[in-house]
Amino acid sequence: MTRHMQNIPSISRASGLDKDGDTLKDFKVQEEYFKFIAGKIAAYWRRYPVPNEQAWNWRPALKGAQKEEQDNILIQLRKLREGVLSTKRKDAFSITVYEISYLLTIIFQSTFLPVQSSLSHLVEELYPGVSKASPFYPLPMNSTPGLYSGNHRQFITFLDLLNAVVSNFPRLSPFHEILSGSCHSLPPNTRGWLSSVASALSHKNYARLSDLTTTESCRSTLEAVRNPLASYSENDLHGLAFLALRRALRQKGREQAWSVMRVGYREFKHPVDGWISRMLLFDTQDEVKLWLKSLITEGLLSLKGTTPETYIITKRKV
Largest CA distance in the chain: 72
Q: What pLDDT is stored for residue 83 in this prediction?
A: 94
pLDDT tens digit string along 32-90?
Answer: 999 999 889 888 888 887 766 555 554 545 678 888 999 999 999 999 999 999 999 99
Judge whether 192 and 221 are in contact, CB under 8 Å: no
pLDDT of residue 238: 81
Residues 6+ away with beta carbon under 8 Å from 43: none
Edge-to-edge strand list for the sheet holding 310-313: 267-269, 310-313, 301-303
Per-residue pLDDT band at 94 (split at 50, 70, 90)? very high
Of 261, 215, 294, which Cα lies nearest the Cα of 52?
215
E strands, the chain, in order: 267-269, 301-303, 310-313
State the pTM of this model.
0.84
According to the model, what pLDDT value does residue 14 have? 55
Of the candidates 265, 244, 2, which has an alpha carbon nearest to the alpha carbon of residue 103?
244
Mean pLDDT value across the chain: 81
Q: Are 282 and 59 in contact (CB under 8 A)?
A: no
Q: Is the dihedral of CA 42, 48, 49, 53 positive or negative?
A: negative
- Residue count of the chain, please give it: 318
> In this structure, how many other beta carbons lie within 10 angstroms of the beta carbon of residue 218?
18
Residue 19 contacts by C-beta under 8 Å, 6 or more apart in sequence?
none
Cα gap 154→184, rounded to integer Å: 10
Q: How far is CA 199 from CA 3, 206, 225, in A?
A: 51, 10, 21
* Per-residue confidence (pLDDT) for residue 141, from 0 to 100: 41
